[in-house]
Amino acid sequence: MQRRKFMQQSVLASAGMLAASAATASGKTNKASGKPFNLNYGIHDGMFEDNAGKDFTDQIKFAYDMGFRAIEDNGFMDRPVDQQKKIGDTLAKLGMSMGVFVMNFDHWPVKTSLTSGSKEWRDKFLKSCNDAIEVAKRCNGKWITVVPGNYERSLPMEYQTSNVIEALRPACDMLEPHGLVMVLEALSDTPDLFLRHSDQTFMICKAVNSPSCKFLFDMYHMQRNEGNIINNIDAAWDEIGYFQIGDNPGRNEPTTGEMNYKNIFKHIHSKGYKGVLGMEHGTLNPGKEGEMKLIEAYRWSDDFL
């Protein structure tokens, strides 16, 4: 009889846990879901459209209610001015931060651009820097993603590196008085890309020698290209200006791949990082339930104190 009673209690307890899990998955999260996170994670357009609708400002408001306090928007510079102002006004009203937008001088797929030393590409880049100053004012932005372009196979690596440095220095002269920061992103999408590794990006930032030229450490790309994430964060720390997130494989939210984001987030927090960590990844599961699971993944990964 005691064994039967024990089994009945175990079944009831298991049912209770399953019900709690189902409630969480369906979006019935507790009040802690609206509490700000320990780090400042930045959502992007489309991340919560199933729960909040397709209007990005509605998604921003939903994200705020879920505890997020930042966004990033790669395509912000290409949006109509009225949309830029609407997004900026929404962020200001909610007290949220703007993360990166992409310098749109070289739309994806990237071309050779700055590595070539071409005056045409340098002039195009500097014009975009000037445009970005006005764009940043509309959203109180600070960080601008820059990708130097593809490897120029007609030139040795050292000449390409010099060309990139020489293009970035006058850009810094333009951006620094406005408190704006170019963040150079090393990528893993194709081996044709010039900028791929943390030591390479660190060296270029050191050579440019400006507070307006820093390293965008995208942890998904760095995991694919070189791994050893925490040690490489430490090695490049002085030049890191911004982080982006994505688990590998799959480029989805933390907990969906091989990367221990709870430990990574704890390490970044312990170093005193106060900036935005852009959520530049997809969502593993579809629909409203998938979006709520994404939030729960961030709640779990952010629970490191």
* Residue 4 scores a pLDDT above 50: no
Tokens 């992409």 — which residue? 102
pLDDT attached to residue 21: 40
Q: For residue range 219-277, list pLDDT tens digits in order.
A: 999 999 999 999 999 999 999 999 999 999 999 999 999 999 999 999 999 999 999 99
Pick the closest to residue 92 from 104, 103, 100, 84 (CA basis). Answer: 84
* Residue 188 scores a pLDDT above 90: yes
3-state secondary structure string across 76-122: HHHCCHHHHHHHHHHHHHHCCEECCEECCCCCCCCCCHHHHCCHHHH
The least confident of 3-7, 198-202, 223-227, 277-281 is 3-7
* Residue 9 scores a pLDDT above 50: no
Q: What are the distances in angstroms from CA 111 to CA 59, 188, 297? A: 33, 15, 36
* Residue 8 scores a pLDDT above 60: no
pLDDT confidence band for 109 (50 / 70 / 90):
confident
> CB-hemisphere CA count at 13 Å for 258?
9
Residue 214: how many other CB atoms lie within 10 Å? 23
* Residue 169 scores a pLDDT above 50: yes
- Asked if the peptide bond before residue 249 counts as cis, ω within 30 degrees of 0, the response is yes
* Residue 183 scores a pLDDT above 80: yes
Let me know if 49 is exposed, middle or buried by CB neighbors in 10 A (0-12, 13-18, 19+). Answer: middle
Output phi, psi for 152, to 5 deg. -95, 105
* Residue 100 scores a pLDDT above 50: yes
pLDDT attached to residue 106: 81
pLDDT attached to residue 111: 78
Q: For residue range 24-72, list pLDDT tens digits in order.
A: 443 444 446 689 999 999 999 999 999 999 999 999 999 999 999 999 9
pLDDT over 70 percentage in the chain: 89
- Asked if the peptide bond before residue 109 counts as cis, ω within 30 degrees of 0, the response is yes
pLDDT attached to residue 32: 64
Tokens of 106: 């070289």
Q: At 182, which amino acid appears?
A: M
> CB-hemisphere CA count at 13 Å for 167?
30
| Range 168-183 average pLDDT | 98
- Give the torsion sign (CA, 228, 231, 234, 239): negative
Going by CATH, does the domain composed of 34-301 fall within 3.20.20.150?
A: yes
* Residue 22 scores a pLDDT above 70: no
Q: What is the pTM of this model?
A: 0.89
* Residue 91 scores a pLDDT above 80: yes
* Residue 17 scores a pLDDT above 50: no
pLDDT attached to residue 264: 98
> Residue 176 has what DSSP assignment?
G
d(C-alpha 234, C-alpha 217), whole Å:
11
pLDDT attached to residue 1: 36
**What angle do helix axes 261-270 and 229-236 make, rounded to 10 degrees?**
20
78-83: Cβ within 8 A, 24+ apart: 78/104, 81/138, 83/56
pLDDT attached to residue 201: 98
Q: Please tell me which residue, 14 or 125, carries the higher pLDDT value.
A: 125
pLDDT attached to residue 85: 98
d(C-alpha 213, C-alpha 215), whole Å:
7
* Residue 152 scores a pLDDT above 60: yes
pLDDT over 90 percentage in the chain: 86
* Residue 144 scores a pLDDT above 50: yes
pLDDT attached to residue 77: 97
Total number of residues shown for the chain: 305
* Residue 75 scores a pLDDT above 70: yes
With a CB cutoff of 8 Å and minimum separation 6, the contacts of 284 are 250, 252, 253, 256, 290, 293, 294
